Chain A
Amino acid sequence: MPVLEVKNIEKRFGTTHVLRDITFSLEEGQALAIIGSSGSGKTTLLRCLNFLERPDKGSIAVRNELLFDAADPATQQEAQVRRKRLHFGLVFQSFNLFPQYTALENVTLACKLLAQEQPDFRTGKACILKEINERAYTLLEQMGLSERAGHYPHQLSGGQQQRVAIARALAMSPDILCFDEPTSALDPELTGEVLRVIRSLAERRTTMIIVTHEMAFARDVADQILFMDGGVIIEQGEARQVIDSPRQERTRQFLSRYFAG
Protein backbone atom coordinates (compact mmCIF):
# COMPACT_ATOMS: atom_id res chain seq x y z
CA MET A 1 0.00 0.00 0.00
CA PRO A 2 1.47 3.35 -1.00
CA VAL A 3 2.09 5.92 1.72
CA LEU A 4 1.30 8.80 -0.64
CA GLU A 5 -1.23 8.93 -3.43
CA VAL A 6 -1.51 12.01 -5.60
CA LYS A 7 -4.29 12.04 -8.16
CA ASN A 8 -5.00 14.36 -11.08
CA ILE A 9 -3.48 17.51 -9.57
CA GLU A 10 -3.99 20.67 -11.64
CA LYS A 11 -2.73 24.13 -10.80
CA ARG A 12 -3.02 27.42 -12.64
CA PHE A 13 -1.49 30.77 -11.81
CA GLY A 14 -3.75 33.17 -13.71
CA THR A 15 -3.66 31.91 -17.26
CA THR A 16 -0.49 29.86 -16.82
CA HIS A 17 -1.14 26.16 -16.49
CA VAL A 18 1.59 25.10 -14.07
CA LEU A 19 0.53 21.53 -13.29
CA ARG A 20 -1.60 19.27 -15.49
CA ASP A 21 -3.06 15.98 -14.40
CA ILE A 22 -0.26 15.01 -12.03
CA THR A 23 -0.78 11.46 -10.74
CA PHE A 24 1.75 9.37 -8.89
CA SER A 25 2.19 7.35 -5.74
CA LEU A 26 5.03 6.64 -3.37
CA GLU A 27 5.74 3.53 -1.33
CA GLU A 28 6.86 3.58 2.29
CA GLY A 29 10.63 3.83 2.63
CA GLN A 30 11.22 4.83 -0.96
CA ALA A 31 12.91 7.91 -2.34
CA LEU A 32 11.38 9.64 -5.34
CA ALA A 33 13.43 12.15 -7.31
CA ILE A 34 11.64 14.72 -9.42
CA ILE A 35 13.75 16.08 -12.28
CA GLY A 36 13.05 18.54 -15.05
CA SER A 37 14.11 21.97 -16.26
CA SER A 38 13.29 25.20 -14.41
CA GLY A 39 9.65 26.16 -14.76
CA SER A 40 8.50 22.59 -15.31
CA GLY A 41 6.33 22.72 -12.17
CA LYS A 42 8.50 20.61 -9.83
CA THR A 43 8.60 23.17 -7.03
CA THR A 44 4.90 24.00 -7.37
CA LEU A 45 4.12 20.32 -6.98
CA LEU A 46 6.09 20.14 -3.73
CA ARG A 47 4.40 23.31 -2.51
CA CYS A 48 1.00 21.75 -3.23
CA LEU A 49 1.93 18.70 -1.16
CA ASN A 50 2.92 20.97 1.72
CA PHE A 51 -0.26 23.05 1.42
CA LEU A 52 1.64 26.20 0.53
CA GLU A 53 -0.33 26.25 -2.72
CA ARG A 54 -3.86 24.99 -3.18
CA PRO A 55 -4.36 22.81 -6.26
CA ASP A 56 -7.34 23.68 -8.48
CA LYS A 57 -8.16 20.05 -9.08
CA GLY A 58 -7.18 16.65 -7.79
CA SER A 59 -6.60 14.92 -4.48
CA ILE A 60 -3.81 14.06 -2.06
CA ALA A 61 -3.99 11.10 0.33
CA VAL A 62 -1.45 9.89 2.90
CA ARG A 63 -1.82 6.37 4.33
CA ASN A 64 -5.30 6.19 2.85
CA GLU A 65 -6.37 9.34 4.67
CA LEU A 66 -7.74 11.89 2.22
CA LEU A 67 -5.91 15.13 3.09
CA PHE A 68 -7.04 17.24 0.20
CA ASP A 69 -9.68 16.99 -2.45
CA ALA A 70 -10.33 20.02 -4.63
CA ALA A 71 -13.92 18.86 -5.07
CA ASP A 72 -14.55 18.58 -1.33
CA PRO A 73 -14.38 21.91 0.59
CA ALA A 74 -14.52 20.01 3.89
CA THR A 75 -10.94 18.91 3.29
CA GLN A 76 -9.73 22.49 2.91
CA GLN A 77 -10.55 24.02 6.28
CA GLU A 78 -7.76 26.31 7.39
CA ALA A 79 -7.71 25.00 10.96
CA GLN A 80 -7.05 21.44 9.81
CA VAL A 81 -4.55 22.32 7.11
CA ARG A 82 -2.07 23.04 9.85
CA ARG A 83 -2.23 19.49 11.22
CA LYS A 84 -2.22 18.00 7.74
CA ARG A 85 1.00 19.78 6.94
CA LEU A 86 2.72 17.71 9.60
CA HIS A 87 2.46 14.63 7.36
CA PHE A 88 5.04 16.35 5.18
CA GLY A 89 8.36 17.95 5.95
CA LEU A 90 9.91 20.47 3.57
CA VAL A 91 13.52 21.46 3.14
CA PHE A 92 13.79 24.69 1.17
CA GLN A 93 16.31 25.66 -1.46
CA SER A 94 17.22 28.76 0.59
CA PHE A 95 17.23 26.95 3.99
CA ASN A 96 14.93 29.51 5.64
CA LEU A 97 16.36 28.96 9.09
CA PHE A 98 15.10 31.35 11.75
CA PRO A 99 18.00 33.79 12.20
CA GLN A 100 17.31 34.73 15.81
CA TYR A 101 17.49 31.15 17.05
CA THR A 102 20.47 28.85 17.45
CA ALA A 103 20.75 25.66 15.41
CA LEU A 104 19.32 23.66 18.32
CA GLU A 105 16.47 26.14 18.88
CA ASN A 106 15.63 26.04 15.18
CA VAL A 107 15.17 22.29 15.49
CA THR A 108 13.17 22.39 18.73
CA LEU A 109 10.95 25.47 18.29
CA ALA A 110 8.04 23.89 16.42
CA CYS A 111 8.19 20.69 18.52
CA LYS A 112 7.93 22.71 21.70
CA LEU A 113 5.03 24.77 20.43
CA LEU A 114 3.23 21.60 19.39
CA ALA A 115 3.95 19.94 22.72
CA GLN A 116 2.26 22.84 24.51
CA GLU A 117 -1.01 21.67 23.02
CA GLN A 118 -0.78 18.25 24.64
CA PRO A 119 -3.18 17.89 27.58
CA ASP A 120 -0.46 16.58 29.89
CA PHE A 121 2.03 19.33 28.99
CA ARG A 122 1.77 21.18 32.30
CA THR A 123 2.37 18.19 34.49
CA GLY A 124 5.20 16.73 32.45
CA LYS A 125 6.64 19.97 31.14
CA ALA A 126 10.26 19.57 32.21
CA CYS A 127 10.39 15.99 31.03
CA ILE A 128 8.78 16.73 27.64
CA LEU A 129 11.08 19.67 26.94
CA LYS A 130 14.11 17.63 27.94
CA GLU A 131 13.07 14.85 25.57
CA ILE A 132 12.60 17.33 22.71
CA ASN A 133 16.03 18.84 23.34
CA GLU A 134 17.71 15.46 23.48
CA ARG A 135 16.06 14.32 20.30
CA ALA A 136 17.03 17.53 18.52
CA TYR A 137 20.58 17.10 19.71
CA THR A 138 20.65 13.53 18.40
CA LEU A 139 19.38 14.73 15.04
CA LEU A 140 22.06 17.41 14.85
CA GLU A 141 24.62 14.77 15.75
CA GLN A 142 23.35 12.64 12.88
CA MET A 143 23.85 15.63 10.61
CA GLY A 144 27.43 15.92 11.89
CA LEU A 145 26.63 19.19 13.65
CA SER A 146 26.84 18.38 17.35
CA GLU A 147 29.51 21.05 17.80
CA ARG A 148 27.37 23.66 16.06
CA ALA A 149 24.22 23.28 18.17
CA GLY A 150 24.71 26.65 19.86
CA HIS A 151 25.60 28.58 16.71
CA TYR A 152 23.30 31.06 15.03
CA PRO A 153 22.52 30.54 11.34
CA HIS A 154 24.74 33.41 10.18
CA GLN A 155 27.69 31.71 11.88
CA LEU A 156 27.19 28.57 9.80
CA SER A 157 28.17 27.77 6.22
CA GLY A 158 25.44 27.16 3.66
CA GLY A 159 25.94 23.42 3.85
CA GLN A 160 25.72 23.47 7.63
CA GLN A 161 22.59 25.64 7.50
CA GLN A 162 20.94 23.21 5.12
CA ARG A 163 21.79 20.29 7.38
CA VAL A 164 20.21 22.14 10.32
CA ALA A 165 17.14 22.65 8.12
CA ILE A 166 17.03 18.91 7.43
CA ALA A 167 17.25 18.16 11.18
CA ARG A 168 14.50 20.71 11.76
CA ALA A 169 12.22 18.98 9.27
CA LEU A 170 13.02 15.52 10.66
CA ALA A 171 12.27 16.66 14.20
CA MET A 172 8.56 16.80 13.34
CA SER A 173 8.70 13.12 12.27
CA PRO A 174 6.95 13.65 8.94
CA ASP A 175 5.64 10.69 6.95
CA ILE A 176 7.26 12.12 3.85
CA LEU A 177 10.25 14.40 3.74
CA CYS A 178 10.36 16.75 0.74
CA PHE A 179 13.46 18.50 -0.58
CA ASP A 180 13.13 21.48 -2.92
CA GLU A 181 16.45 21.69 -4.77
CA PRO A 182 18.35 21.36 -1.50
CA THR A 183 21.76 22.05 -3.00
CA SER A 184 20.96 24.67 -5.65
CA ALA A 185 21.96 27.55 -3.37
CA LEU A 186 25.26 25.93 -2.38
CA ASP A 187 28.82 26.09 -3.66
CA PRO A 188 29.93 22.88 -5.36
CA GLU A 189 32.18 22.08 -2.37
CA LEU A 190 29.28 22.31 0.05
CA THR A 191 26.88 20.35 -2.13
CA GLY A 192 28.58 17.07 -1.26
CA GLU A 193 28.03 17.27 2.48
CA VAL A 194 24.30 17.85 2.04
CA LEU A 195 23.95 15.08 -0.55
CA ARG A 196 25.79 12.69 1.79
CA VAL A 197 23.23 13.40 4.51
CA ILE A 198 20.32 12.81 2.15
CA ARG A 199 21.95 9.61 0.96
CA SER A 200 22.27 8.35 4.53
CA LEU A 201 18.57 9.12 5.07
CA ALA A 202 17.75 7.05 1.98
CA GLU A 203 19.84 4.20 3.34
CA ARG A 204 17.76 4.35 6.51
CA ARG A 205 14.66 4.06 4.32
CA THR A 206 13.26 7.52 4.97
CA THR A 207 10.34 8.19 2.65
CA MET A 208 11.43 11.16 0.56
CA ILE A 209 10.59 13.29 -2.44
CA ILE A 210 13.62 15.14 -3.79
CA VAL A 211 13.41 17.84 -6.42
CA THR A 212 16.92 18.05 -7.79
CA HIS A 213 19.20 18.96 -10.66
CA GLU A 214 21.85 16.48 -9.51
CA MET A 215 21.22 13.71 -12.04
CA ALA A 216 23.95 11.34 -10.91
CA PHE A 217 22.76 11.70 -7.34
CA ALA A 218 19.14 11.06 -8.34
CA ARG A 219 20.19 7.93 -10.21
CA ASP A 220 22.15 6.51 -7.28
CA VAL A 221 19.97 7.48 -4.36
CA ALA A 222 16.38 7.52 -5.61
CA ASP A 223 14.29 4.41 -6.14
CA GLN A 224 11.91 6.12 -8.52
CA ILE A 225 12.34 9.07 -10.84
CA LEU A 226 9.69 11.32 -12.20
CA PHE A 227 10.56 13.59 -15.13
CA MET A 228 8.41 16.67 -15.59
CA ASP A 229 8.19 19.12 -18.44
CA GLY A 230 5.71 21.97 -18.93
CA GLY A 231 3.68 20.94 -15.89
CA VAL A 232 3.19 17.37 -17.13
CA ILE A 233 4.77 14.11 -16.00
CA ILE A 234 6.55 12.92 -19.14
CA GLU A 235 8.05 9.78 -17.73
CA GLN A 236 8.24 7.95 -14.44
CA GLY A 237 9.89 4.73 -13.49
CA GLU A 238 12.70 2.99 -11.73
CA ALA A 239 15.59 5.44 -11.25
CA ARG A 240 18.35 3.71 -13.22
CA GLN A 241 16.03 2.88 -16.04
CA VAL A 242 14.84 6.48 -16.46
CA ILE A 243 18.37 7.91 -16.37
CA ASP A 244 20.19 5.19 -18.32
CA SER A 245 17.56 4.26 -20.89
CA PRO A 246 14.74 6.78 -20.98
CA ARG A 247 11.74 5.76 -23.03
CA GLN A 248 10.59 9.23 -24.04
CA GLU A 249 12.38 11.40 -26.58
CA ARG A 250 11.83 14.51 -24.40
CA THR A 251 13.54 12.81 -21.44
CA ARG A 252 16.49 11.84 -23.63
CA GLN A 253 16.87 15.45 -24.81
CA PHE A 254 16.78 16.73 -21.26
CA LEU A 255 19.28 14.19 -19.94
CA SER A 256 21.68 14.61 -22.84
CA ARG A 257 22.30 18.16 -21.68
CA TYR A 258 23.50 16.83 -18.33
CA PHE A 259 25.57 13.96 -19.57
CA ALA A 260 26.88 15.48 -22.82
CA GLY A 261 30.31 16.21 -21.36
Chain B
Amino acid sequence: MLAAVTLSLLRGLMTTLELFFLTLLFALPLGLLISFGSMSRLTPLRGVTKGIVWVIRGTPLMLQILVIFYGPGLLFGLPLLPRFTAALVSFVINYACYFSEIFRGGIQSVPAGQYEAGQVLGMTRPQIFFRITLLQVIKRIVPPMSNEFITLVKDTALVRIISVYEIIWMGESYIKKGMIWPLFYTAVFYLAVNGLLTLLFGRFEKKLSYFR
Protein backbone atom coordinates (compact mmCIF):
# COMPACT_ATOMS: atom_id res chain seq x y z
CA MET B 1 0.00 0.00 0.00
CA LEU B 2 2.75 2.39 1.00
CA ALA B 3 4.51 1.82 -2.31
CA ALA B 4 1.35 2.48 -4.31
CA VAL B 5 0.59 5.67 -2.36
CA THR B 6 4.20 6.85 -2.66
CA LEU B 7 4.08 6.31 -6.40
CA SER B 8 0.89 8.28 -6.86
CA LEU B 9 2.14 11.06 -4.60
CA LEU B 10 5.34 11.19 -6.65
CA ARG B 11 3.19 11.70 -9.75
CA GLY B 12 1.56 14.63 -7.97
CA LEU B 13 4.97 15.90 -6.96
CA MET B 14 6.01 16.00 -10.62
CA THR B 15 3.16 18.42 -11.36
CA THR B 16 4.13 20.44 -8.30
CA LEU B 17 7.75 20.66 -9.40
CA GLU B 18 6.80 21.44 -12.98
CA LEU B 19 4.75 24.37 -11.77
CA PHE B 20 7.57 25.42 -9.45
CA PHE B 21 10.30 25.48 -12.11
CA LEU B 22 8.18 27.00 -14.88
CA THR B 23 7.01 29.75 -12.52
CA LEU B 24 10.62 30.61 -11.68
CA LEU B 25 11.65 30.48 -15.33
CA PHE B 26 9.14 33.16 -16.32
CA ALA B 27 8.62 35.10 -13.09
CA LEU B 28 12.29 35.93 -12.44
CA PRO B 29 12.90 37.85 -15.69
CA LEU B 30 9.41 39.35 -15.61
CA GLY B 31 10.03 40.45 -12.03
CA LEU B 32 13.26 42.20 -13.05
CA LEU B 33 11.36 43.99 -15.81
CA ILE B 34 8.63 45.08 -13.37
CA SER B 35 11.27 46.30 -10.90
CA PHE B 36 12.75 48.53 -13.64
CA GLY B 37 9.23 49.84 -14.24
CA SER B 38 8.73 50.63 -10.57
CA MET B 39 12.03 52.54 -10.51
CA SER B 40 11.45 54.34 -13.81
CA ARG B 41 11.92 58.07 -14.10
CA LEU B 42 8.68 58.20 -16.12
CA THR B 43 6.01 58.94 -13.56
CA PRO B 44 3.08 57.30 -15.47
CA LEU B 45 5.01 54.06 -16.01
CA ARG B 46 6.04 54.02 -12.37
CA GLY B 47 2.45 54.68 -11.29
CA VAL B 48 0.96 51.93 -13.45
CA THR B 49 3.58 49.40 -12.32
CA LYS B 50 3.10 50.22 -8.67
CA GLY B 51 -0.68 49.94 -9.15
CA ILE B 52 -0.38 46.48 -10.67
CA VAL B 53 1.97 45.33 -7.92
CA TRP B 54 -0.44 46.66 -5.32
CA VAL B 55 -3.41 44.76 -6.79
CA ILE B 56 -1.50 41.50 -7.20
CA ARG B 57 0.12 41.61 -3.79
CA GLY B 58 -3.07 42.87 -2.19
CA THR B 59 -5.37 40.03 -3.28
CA PRO B 60 -5.16 36.31 -2.51
CA LEU B 61 -3.31 34.13 -4.99
CA MET B 62 -6.21 31.68 -4.82
CA LEU B 63 -8.56 34.38 -6.07
CA GLN B 64 -6.15 35.21 -8.89
CA ILE B 65 -6.06 31.57 -9.96
CA LEU B 66 -9.87 31.49 -10.09
CA VAL B 67 -10.09 34.77 -12.01
CA ILE B 68 -7.54 33.67 -14.60
CA PHE B 69 -9.17 30.28 -15.05
CA TYR B 70 -12.84 31.30 -15.10
CA GLY B 71 -12.60 35.04 -15.87
CA PRO B 72 -11.99 35.02 -19.64
CA GLY B 73 -14.87 32.58 -20.18
CA LEU B 74 -17.37 34.30 -17.90
CA LEU B 75 -16.56 37.86 -18.97
CA PHE B 76 -15.77 37.54 -22.66
CA GLY B 77 -17.09 34.12 -23.63
CA LEU B 78 -13.55 32.98 -24.47
CA PRO B 79 -12.60 29.30 -24.24
CA LEU B 80 -11.07 28.26 -20.90
CA LEU B 81 -7.31 28.04 -20.66
CA PRO B 82 -6.02 24.54 -19.93
CA ARG B 83 -6.01 24.12 -16.14
CA PHE B 84 -2.26 23.87 -15.77
CA THR B 85 -1.67 26.88 -18.04
CA ALA B 86 -4.13 29.00 -16.06
CA ALA B 87 -2.39 27.99 -12.85
CA LEU B 88 1.02 28.80 -14.33
CA VAL B 89 -0.08 32.21 -15.64
CA SER B 90 -1.45 33.25 -12.25
CA PHE B 91 1.67 32.05 -10.46
CA VAL B 92 3.99 33.86 -12.86
CA ILE B 93 2.13 37.15 -12.47
CA ASN B 94 1.85 36.81 -8.71
CA TYR B 95 5.45 35.83 -8.09
CA ALA B 96 6.87 38.32 -10.60
CA CYS B 97 5.30 41.08 -8.50
CA TYR B 98 6.86 39.80 -5.29
CA PHE B 99 10.22 39.27 -7.01
CA SER B 100 10.09 42.80 -8.46
CA GLU B 101 9.95 44.27 -4.96
CA ILE B 102 12.88 42.13 -3.87
CA PHE B 103 14.88 43.19 -6.94
CA ARG B 104 14.00 46.84 -6.34
CA GLY B 105 15.11 46.62 -2.73
CA GLY B 106 18.34 44.92 -3.79
CA ILE B 107 19.14 47.39 -6.54
CA GLN B 108 18.37 50.44 -4.42
CA SER B 109 20.43 49.16 -1.52
CA VAL B 110 23.64 49.32 -3.56
CA PRO B 111 25.23 52.62 -2.47
CA ALA B 112 25.14 55.44 -5.03
CA GLY B 113 28.91 55.65 -4.63
CA GLN B 114 29.27 52.38 -6.51
CA TYR B 115 27.54 53.81 -9.60
CA GLU B 116 29.48 57.04 -9.27
CA ALA B 117 32.82 55.27 -8.96
CA GLY B 118 32.00 53.39 -12.17
CA GLN B 119 30.91 56.56 -13.95
CA VAL B 120 34.00 58.48 -12.93
CA LEU B 121 36.14 55.64 -14.33
CA GLY B 122 34.42 56.09 -17.68
CA MET B 123 32.27 52.97 -17.56
CA THR B 124 28.99 52.81 -19.48
CA ARG B 125 25.64 52.19 -17.78
CA PRO B 126 25.44 48.53 -18.90
CA GLN B 127 29.05 47.97 -17.80
CA ILE B 128 28.27 49.42 -14.40
CA PHE B 129 25.16 47.25 -14.08
CA PHE B 130 26.73 43.96 -15.17
CA ARG B 131 30.26 44.39 -13.80
CA ILE B 132 29.62 46.22 -10.55
CA THR B 133 26.03 46.29 -9.37
CA LEU B 134 24.56 42.95 -10.39
CA LEU B 135 26.62 40.66 -8.17
CA GLN B 136 26.12 42.96 -5.19
CA VAL B 137 22.37 42.90 -5.84
CA ILE B 138 22.37 39.10 -6.10
CA LYS B 139 24.24 38.79 -2.83
CA ARG B 140 21.71 41.01 -1.08
CA ILE B 141 18.62 39.28 -2.45
CA VAL B 142 19.63 35.68 -1.74
CA PRO B 143 18.03 35.51 1.75
CA PRO B 144 14.65 37.03 0.78
CA MET B 145 14.66 34.96 -2.41
CA SER B 146 15.13 31.72 -0.49
CA ASN B 147 11.98 32.65 1.44
CA GLU B 148 10.04 33.19 -1.78
CA PHE B 149 11.25 29.94 -3.33
CA ILE B 150 10.17 27.95 -0.29
CA THR B 151 6.81 29.70 -0.16
CA LEU B 152 6.35 28.98 -3.85
CA VAL B 153 6.81 25.24 -3.31
CA LYS B 154 4.01 25.27 -0.75
CA ASP B 155 1.77 27.70 -2.66
CA THR B 156 1.54 25.22 -5.52
CA ALA B 157 -0.97 23.40 -3.30
CA LEU B 158 -3.47 26.16 -4.13
CA VAL B 159 -3.96 24.96 -7.69
CA ARG B 160 -6.13 22.07 -6.53
CA ILE B 161 -8.90 24.73 -6.46
CA ILE B 162 -9.04 24.36 -10.27
CA SER B 163 -8.36 20.62 -10.18
CA VAL B 164 -4.74 20.52 -11.17
CA TYR B 165 -3.56 17.18 -9.86
CA GLU B 166 -0.65 18.23 -7.70
CA ILE B 167 0.53 16.38 -4.65
CA ILE B 168 -2.12 17.53 -2.13
CA TRP B 169 -4.85 16.60 -4.56
CA MET B 170 -3.36 13.14 -4.88
CA GLY B 171 -3.09 12.73 -1.12
CA GLU B 172 -6.62 13.97 -0.57
CA SER B 173 -8.07 11.56 -3.11
CA TYR B 174 -7.35 8.71 -0.67
CA ILE B 175 -9.82 10.13 1.85
CA LYS B 176 -12.64 8.80 -0.30
CA LYS B 177 -11.10 5.35 0.19
CA GLY B 178 -11.11 5.89 3.94
CA MET B 179 -7.42 6.72 4.30
CA ILE B 180 -6.25 9.96 5.84
CA TRP B 181 -2.53 9.17 6.25
CA PRO B 182 -1.58 9.69 2.56
CA LEU B 183 -2.59 13.35 2.96
CA PHE B 184 -0.32 13.71 5.97
CA TYR B 185 2.36 11.79 4.14
CA THR B 186 2.59 14.59 1.52
CA ALA B 187 4.37 16.70 4.15
CA VAL B 188 7.41 14.44 3.78
CA PHE B 189 7.73 15.41 0.11
CA TYR B 190 7.40 19.14 0.81
CA LEU B 191 10.00 18.85 3.54
CA ALA B 192 12.37 17.00 1.23
CA VAL B 193 12.08 19.59 -1.55
CA ASN B 194 12.40 22.53 0.81
CA GLY B 195 15.25 20.87 2.65
CA LEU B 196 17.10 20.59 -0.64
CA LEU B 197 16.33 24.25 -1.47
CA THR B 198 17.56 25.39 1.94
CA LEU B 199 20.78 23.46 1.39
CA LEU B 200 21.34 24.93 -2.08
CA PHE B 201 20.65 28.48 -0.93
CA GLY B 202 22.98 28.01 2.01
CA ARG B 203 25.74 26.89 -0.35
CA PHE B 204 25.12 29.77 -2.72
CA GLU B 205 25.20 32.25 0.13
CA LYS B 206 28.50 30.80 1.27
CA LYS B 207 29.89 31.06 -2.24
CA LEU B 208 29.12 34.78 -2.26
CA SER B 209 30.57 35.36 1.17
CA TYR B 210 34.05 36.09 -0.22
CA PHE B 211 33.11 39.77 -0.36
CA ARG B 212 31.04 42.16 1.70
Bound Cα distance A96, B117 (Å): 6
B211 touches A99 (CB 8 A): yes
A114 touches B113 (CB 8 A): no
Set of chain A residues within 8 Å of B116, measured between Cβ atoms: 52, 92, 96
Interface size on A, residues (CB 8 A): 27
CB-contacts of B89-126 with A (<8 A): 111, 113-114, 116-124
Q: Determine if B45 is an interface residue (Cβ-Cβ < 8 Å).
A: no
Taking the closest CB of chain B, its distance from the CB of A203, in whole angstroms, is 25
A52 touches B123 (CB 8 A): no
- Which stretch (A13-21, A27-35, A79-87) binds chain B? A79-87
A50 touches B120 (CB 8 A): yes
A113 touches B123 (CB 8 A): yes
Set of chain A residues within 8 Å of B118, measured between Cβ atoms: 110
B124 touches A82 (CB 8 A): yes
Bound Cα distance A114, B117 (Å): 15
B210 touches A82 (CB 8 A): no
Interface size on B, residues (CB 8 A): 21
Contact for A110 among B114, B123, B136, CB less than 8 A: B123
A152 touches B124 (CB 8 A): no
CB-contacts of A162-200 with B (<8 A): 168-169, 172
Set of chain A residues within 8 Å of B121, measured between Cβ atoms: 85, 109-110, 168-169, 172
Taking the closest CB of chain B, its distance from the CB of A132, in whole angstroms, is 13
Taking the closest CB of chain A, its distance from the CB of B54, in whole angstroms, is 30
Give the number of residue pairs across the A-B interface with Cβ within 8 Å. Answer: 62
Taking the closest CB of chain A, its distance from the CB of B33, in whole angstroms, is 23
Set of chain A residues within 8 Å of B139, measured between Cβ atoms: 100
Taking the closest CB of chain B, its distance from the CB of A173, in whole angstroms, is 11
Set of chain A residues within 8 Å of B210, measured between Cβ atoms: 100, 152
Q: Determine if B25 is an interface residue (Cβ-Cβ < 8 Å).
A: no
B124 touches A153 (CB 8 A): no
Q: Determine if A94 is an interface residue (Cβ-Cβ < 8 Å).
A: yes
Set of chain A residues within 8 Å of B132, measured between Cβ atoms: 98
Beta-carbon contacts of A20-64 to B below 8 Å, as 1s and 0s? 000000000000000000000000000000111000000000000
Taking the closest CB of chain B, its distance from the CB of A97, in whole angstroms, is 8
Bound Cα distance A83, B119 (Å): 10
Taking the closest CB of chain A, its distance from the CB of B118, in whole angstroms, is 8
Q: Determine if B57 is an interface residue (Cβ-Cβ < 8 Å).
A: no
Q: Determine if A154 is an interface residue (Cβ-Cβ < 8 Å).
A: yes
Q: Determine if B131 is an interface residue (Cβ-Cβ < 8 Å).
A: yes
Q: Determine if A90 is an interface residue (Cβ-Cβ < 8 Å).
A: yes
A92 touches B136 (CB 8 A): no
Q: Determine if B191 is an interface residue (Cβ-Cβ < 8 Å).
A: no
Set of chain B residues within 8 Å of A154, measured between Cβ atoms: 211-212
Bound Cα distance A260, B24 (Å): 65
Bound Cα distance A90, B117 (Å): 8
Q: Nearest residue in B to A168 (C-beta to C-beta)?
A: B121
Which of A85, A94, A96, A154 has the largest number of chain B CB atoms within 10 A?
A96
Quick one: given A94-B113, A109-B131, A113-B131, are A99 and B212 in contact (CB under 8 Å)?
A: yes
Q: Determine if B43 is an interface residue (Cβ-Cβ < 8 Å).
A: no
Bound Cα distance A85, B118 (Å): 11
Please report A residues at the B interface, Cβ cutoff 8 Å: 50-52, 82-83, 85-86, 88-90, 92, 94, 96-100, 109-110, 113-114, 152-154, 168-169, 172
Please report B residues at the A interface, Cβ cutoff 8 Å: 111, 113-114, 116-124, 127, 131-132, 135-136, 139, 210-212
